[in-house]
Amino acid sequence: MITLSKSSIAIIVLAVVTVASVFVFTSRPQHSSTVNSALAKQVNTPPAPLVQPPTINNVITNAKRPDSAYKTLYNIWDDPGLTIFKTAYLSAIKNPRHLLKFPRAGMTAYISNTKPEFWSSLESGAWEPEIWELFHYVLDGSTTLVDFGTWIGPTVLFGAQLARRTFGIEGDPAAFAQVSANVKYNADAPWYPRVHLQPACVHVDDNSVHTMKSKNVGDSASSIGKVHGEQPGEVMPSWKVRCFTLAHFFKMWDINPEEEHVVVKIDVESYECDLIPSFFSWLQGMKTKPTLLLAMHSQITYCSQAQYADIAKVAKLFKFVTPGLVSADGKSISGHTGDYMLSDIIVHPHLNV
C-alpha cells in the first residue's frame, strides 16, 4: 500500500492541477457558432513551455517523461472535461495499488482499484475472455499496438507486456485519468517505458472538436456517437474533446505498417459506423496494412446499409478477415455485435473461449 505524507499530497495536487491545465482548450468558446473555428486554430499553436515542479514526471503518465520519446498533443478538453479529469485523477491516486492478475499466462499489473467489480470480473475470466487469447496470438516483441478507446486500460496493461511499444488513446477524461494512474503504478515494470498515453479521440475529421458524452463519466460507454441506452432528449454529462484521424497519429508517432507489424484495437462504442469507412482511401495505398481488431456495437445502434457496404469495401482490402464478417456476396457485413479481425499477415485463430 502506498502511503503519502501531507506534503507529498500537496505536491501531487499542485502538479496534477498544473499539468492538467495543458489539456484544456486555450480559449473558451464565447458561443456555439464560433466554437469549432476558434478551437481548430489551437493545435497549430505550440503549447507554452511547461514550468512545473521537477516531480511532475513522477505524477502523471503522459507528461513529457524523460523515458517517453513520443509526441503528445495538448489542448484536448474544454473546462468541463478538464474538471472531470482532475477530479478523477486525484481520486485514482488516493487508492492503494492493487495487484491485478490477468486470466492468461500468469501476467499481472498494478492498478488503482477504482472499479473493483470490473477488475474482479476480469480476473475471474468473465470479462471478454477471448481478448487475452487474441492479444497473445497477434502481439509479440516486434509489434506496435495502437489501442483506442483505451478506457481505464485493461488491454493496454496486458498488451504492453507483449508488444514492442503501445499507444493508448482515450477521450473520456475520467477514464483517461484512471488509465494514467494505472500505468503509473507500474513505473518499475520493464514494459512501462514502452507505453505512451494520449488524451484525444479518433475521428473522420482531422483536428476537429466534438461533444463526447456518457451516462456516467469514466464508464466504458462514452461516445461521440449514440450512447448505449440513450433516450431521445436525455441529458447526460458531456464535454468537448479534440479529435484527429488515425493517420495523423501514425505519422506523429512514426508508425509504418509496411515496416513493422501494427495492431490497432478499435472500440469506439458505435462510432465505427462512421469511422471504418473513412479508412478506405488511407488503407488502399498500403502494401501491408495494420491488423485491425474491430469491435462492432449493434446493441447500441445499427449502421446504415450504405455504411455496412462501405465497411465491407474496407474489409475486402485485407487478405484475411474473420469468417462471417463480410456477406457471401461481398457487398455488406453482418453487423452483429462482436469482435472481428482484419489482417494482411495473420489468419484469424478461430478462438473458442
| CATH number given to 6-45+67-343 | 3.40.50.150
Over residues 135-179, the pLDDT tens digits come to: 999 999 999 999 998 999 999 999 999 999 999 999 999 999 999
Tell which residue, 299, 307, 106, 115, has the closest CA to residue 217: 115
Mean local confidence (pLDDT), 4-27:
46
Q: Cβ of 111: how many Cβ atoms within 10 Å?
A: 26
19: CB partners within 8 A, 6+ apart: 50, 52, 56, 59, 60, 63
185: CB partners within 8 A, 6+ apart: 97, 110, 111, 112
- State residue 24's pLDDT score: 54
Cis bond upstream, residue 159 (ω within 30): no
- CA atoms of 32 and 288, how far apart (whole Å): 42
Name residue 293's beta-bridge partners: 265, 341
- State residue 329's pLDDT score: 84
Tell which residue, 324, 91, 331, has the closest CA to residue 342: 324
- State residue 46's pLDDT score: 34
Residue 14 has pLDDT above 50, yes or no: no
With H, G, I as helix, E, B as strand and everything else as coil, classify residue 347.
Answer: coil
- CA atoms of 201 and 172, how far apart (whole Å): 9
Over residues 270-291, the pLDDT tens digits come to: 788 899 999 999 999 999 999 9
Mean local confidence (pLDDT), 212-220:
88
- State residue 235's pLDDT score: 85
End-to-end CA gap in the chain: 35
- State residue 341's pLDDT score: 93
Alpha helices in 49-168 (DSSP H): 79-94, 116-124, 129-138, 154-159
Which residue type, as a one-letter code, is found at position 223? Answer: S
Over residues 95-125, the pLDDT tens digits come to: 888 999 999 889 999 999 999 999 999 999 9
Residue 4 has pLDDT above 60, yes or no: no
- State residue 23's pLDDT score: 55
Confidence (pTM): 0.81
Asked if 321 and 340 touch (Cβ cutoff 8 Å), the reply is yes
Phi, psi of 46 (to 5 degrees): -60, 140
How far from chain centre, in Å, is Cα 182? 14
